[in-house]
Amino acid sequence: MEEVNTDKIGSLLNVKNFFEAFEMIDEILKTDNDAKDDIAEILEESGGKFIDEEDLESAEKVFKKEILIEQASGHYNLGLVYLDMNRNDDAISNFKKATDYGAGNADTYKFMGMAYMNDEDYENAIIYLNKSVSIEENFENNHYLGLAYLGKENYDNAIKFLNGACDIKENYETLHYLGLAYVGKEDYDNAINFFTKSLNRNTDFADAYYYRGMAYYATENEREATKDYKKACDLNEEYLDLPYESY
């Protein structure tokens, strides 16, 4: 494929002239099947640009075209778009197709697990996030697997994988979720410890103040519970409707 055609296709995609861009792609592939990789790369770059611009409808069109040329990456990228759109069933379907075409990697399983979590299907989320961790044990994979176990109320495994994430990188949200797991186990001392660690990293995190206050309330430390509750309400007025006495 000549360089001028590469530039022209990219320019047409940038201005969302999809009909002409796709028509040009089809004409090129009729006579030059070896151009598939170059065209798939152009489509992937263009779709990624639309995702960055939060133009998900345009990204969807581009990746649907990529599927006709490169199935594995096309389905994977379309799955990411649907995940951002909160179209979780469509995301899962495309991630599964990506694995069928050979893209069964840690990221595909992670995002599939996240889509199941969005639907509160924690059993399937755990299955695919475990696959992700088994391939690559990094911060995100451990973090999301811990969240799936937390959603399933399997607090011991939630603590295991959230701690695994913190061993790689301490993050205020991960520390907060560890606190929630300990609240689930009614281990309020550890819960307070992790909420405090979370707040040390983000002093404006209303959720951690609220749930640390709840842990203090459970241990009958009403003075500290009241202080945390007031701070949480200052940061997020929605907590005004959730006094600890209502639990």
Residue-wise pLDDT tens digits, 192-238: 999 999 999 999 999 999 999 999 999 999 999 999 999 999 999 99
Contact (Cβ atoms closer than 8 angstroms) between residue 171 and residue 142: no
For range 138-143, the mean pLDDT: 98
What is the C-alpha separation between 193 and 175, in angstroms, rounded? 9
Which pLDDT value is given to residue 7?
A: 85
Provide the CA 14 distance to its chain's centre, in angstroms. Answer: 27
Which pLDDT value is given to residue 202?
A: 98
Nearby residues of 58 by Cβ (< 8 Å), 6 or more positions away: 16, 18, 50
pLDDT in tens, 85-129: 999 999 999 999 999 999 999 999 999 999 999 999 999 999 999
The pLDDT confidence band at residue 144, using thresholds 50, 70 and 90, is very high
